[in-house]
Amino acid sequence: MAMTGQLLAQIEQITIELVASIISEEKVTIQVPRYLRSRSSLAYRKITFNRRPSRHRFCLIVYLLAEIHRLHVFGGSCTVRGLYYRDTQMIRSQSYIDAAKLDVCHMLNTAPVQLGLLSASKGLIAGNVTFLMNNGDVLDCNEYSRALTLPTDFENVERIETSAEMVLIVEKESVFESLLSQQAFSTFGLRFILLTGKGYPDCSTRRIVHRLSVECQLPAYILVDADPFGIEIMLTYQRGSQAMSFSSHSLATPSLRWIGLHPSEMQSVSNAAASLTQFDNKKIVDLLARNNLSFAVRQELISLQHSQRKAEIESVIDFLSPYYIPTKINRNLFLT
């Protein structure tokens, strides 16, 4: 209730200021805060109704603020895709409303799920875990032999029950499915929860990893490609999204353990390395510019940069389940 009251007050204050600008015939402008790279200073981007190039973005932000206000007054939630189909002519493209949603999150300094704006979850989960929902529903992964899609509104999960000993996150759905087909649950010697965000994880996937780590006190491990984009995905789980750094406390898992693939071990474990592209090298430079990298992660990025080689998880897929993953976990061969 406190969060709802605060959000309503913020939206109403923004509305009052916009109306005042209209009455005084000033430029009708919305200011969107953005953090500079140092994260120590704040700047503002102005979106003005009076300027034709920014008018559409302005209208979408006001449209979202009105919808969020309605949701918090009357209750409920909605998907961003549902909002798009409500008025496709006005919104034009879902990418436009996605960008406006991010602006609103910055303005209100909160994550989309707290606003009642949801995205269809793409994350998959399998293993020893049961979700007890607020409405009394029970989602028991133990009853299914295959993967389940994570709930879209994870805040409706009242309680998580599990007897698992750890969480294992894999970057790709193909690796997730391969581990299931290899009977990984019976070969590891550990009870665990298997999860994938199918590449860059959405908020629901990151939120469940956070809750499994904090509420269930489970160690979380991650397996990604030995390339700059795999490392960035690992950092998104561990540190949070750069674009939504203001909400990282509820979506990040700082204790996440990176078990591989490590660039420094490519030569010994993979015979299918490929050359880095110009795009890969630019991403490495961008990642090295971050000021919150651990020494170990920074060294792996430098190793990647020096070798100019990268490798996918699939290059070691045949011995992931029987050897690679259990060895990394049992011998604590991970980086943080």
* Residues assigned a catalytic role: 85
Contacts of 195 (CB under 8 A, 6+ apart): 123, 124, 125, 126, 167, 168, 169, 170, 176, 205, 208, 209
Residue 98: Cβ within 10 Å count: 15
Integer angstrom CA distances of residue 44 from 35, 59, 106: 8, 18, 10
How many CB atoms sit inside 10 A of residue 216's CB?
15
Reference 185, options 146, 227, 231; nearest CA is 146
Bridge partners of residue 167, in order along the sequence: 193, 220
Question: Residue 260: CB partners within 8 Å, gap ≥ 6?
Answer: 223, 224, 226, 269, 313, 324, 328
If you ran DSSP here, which 8-state letter would residue 167 be given? Answer: E
Could you give the count of Cα atoms lying within 13 Å of 40 in the half-sphere of its Cβ? 4
Please count the residues of the chain. Answer: 336
* Range 289-323 burial, b when 16+ CB lie within 10 A, else e: ebeebeeebeebbebbbebebbbbbebbeeebbee
Place of tokens 């302005």: 58
> How far is residue 115's CA from residue 118's CA, in Å, rounded to a whole number?
8
CA distance 259 to 227: 14
